Amino acid sequence: MSTASSSSARPVVVGVDGSDPSIAAAVYGADLARRRRLPLLLVHVTPWNLSGTVAPTPSADLGGALEESAEQLLRTVQAEVLERTGPLPAVSSRVLDDYPVPGLCRISGEAAVLVLGRRGSRGLPGLMAGSTASGVVQHARCPVVVLPAEDTTRAGQRRPVVVGVEAAPEDEQVLAFAVAEAADRRTDLVAVHAWREIALEVSARRPTPFVDWTGVAEEEQALLAESVAGWRDKEPDVAIREVLVRDRPATALREAALDAELLVVGHRHRPALARLGSTVHGLLHRAPCPLVVVPIEESAR
């Protein structure tokens, strides 16, 4: 993993709204920035001066007051993060004049990683309300870390990084992030490939066709092994364990993540679709540990 420390390095960006979950996300982002030797950027997204949003008044500059309030919130969060984590090489904050989803997606183009909490302040246009987190994950241009509302992972001295492997060429981008995180954390990587061939299962219910499920499983195991083989050479210090599961991907990955430090999956950008794929959507709301969604670029398909 790159450990660039120059001022031009892309930062770890954390969306904050002043809620406890967003402060926890800021602390998590600070730890990530320290491990990667990257700058930390705290952002608060609020439409304080968008055209038509704030009506001018003769007695007060309401837009300016909202901006100052947002800046004060960021100063408070930054001070609390530094108190909890200690000094960081570089930390800054920024108020974005936008709505949460487009604002965070826009800044994701400048980020190495974007960190979000899963829940925001009730009654506010909180950054982490379910629909907002889904919208950001769907369109972000960098990996997005979404923290669970509550960490339900089983305690243990050493917890692995779990990665979902589709046994497809685009796995390289997802595995690159997962392997680097496992190396940084000095832990193992568990590569999970879940398969559930609906067409074969339907055929197997009929009397005529014969499905060699053992043969199918062997083929899937071979695809999984091929997907991770090169990474053993690139990162020999990271122990990689292969797990093949005949189940829905979301179910298999949730179960594997019960004792994980991090769960990493990929997401293909589908401009024509208005929603996330079922696997990412299911994990976004039910993953038991921090979830990383890595965007898969068009060129990798």
* For range 234-244, the mean pLDDT: 95
Model pLDDT, residue 69:
81
3-state secondary structure of 43: strand
- Per-residue pLDDT reduced to its tens digit, 181-234: 999 999 999 999 998 765 444 444 454 456 666 777 888 899 999 999 999 999
- Per-residue pLDDT reduced to its tens digit, 59-108: 456 667 777 888 888 888 889 898 888 888 899 999 998 999 999 999 99
* For range 45-67, the mean pLDDT: 61
Which region, left, alpha or beta, applies to residue 167 given φ > 0 means left and ψ of -120 to 50 means alpha? left
Model pLDDT, residue 4:
42
pTM: 0.84
54 vs 224, more confident: 224
The C-alpha atoms of residue 218 and residue 49 are separated, in whole angstroms, by 59
Domain with CATH 3.40.50.12370 in the chain: 161-300
For 12-146, which CATH superfamily applies?
HUPs (3.40.50.620)
Distance, CA of 83 to chain centre: 25
Write out the DSSP string of 85-107: H---S-EEEEEE-S-HHHHHHHH
3-state secondary structure of 33: helix
Confidence bin at 133 (pLDDT 50/70/90): confident
What residues have CB less than 8 Å from 120, skipping those under 6 apart? 17, 19, 21, 22, 126, 127, 128, 129, 132
Domain with CATH 3.40.50.620 in the chain: 12-146
Model pLDDT, residue 113:
97
CATH class of the 161-300 domain in this structure:
alpha beta
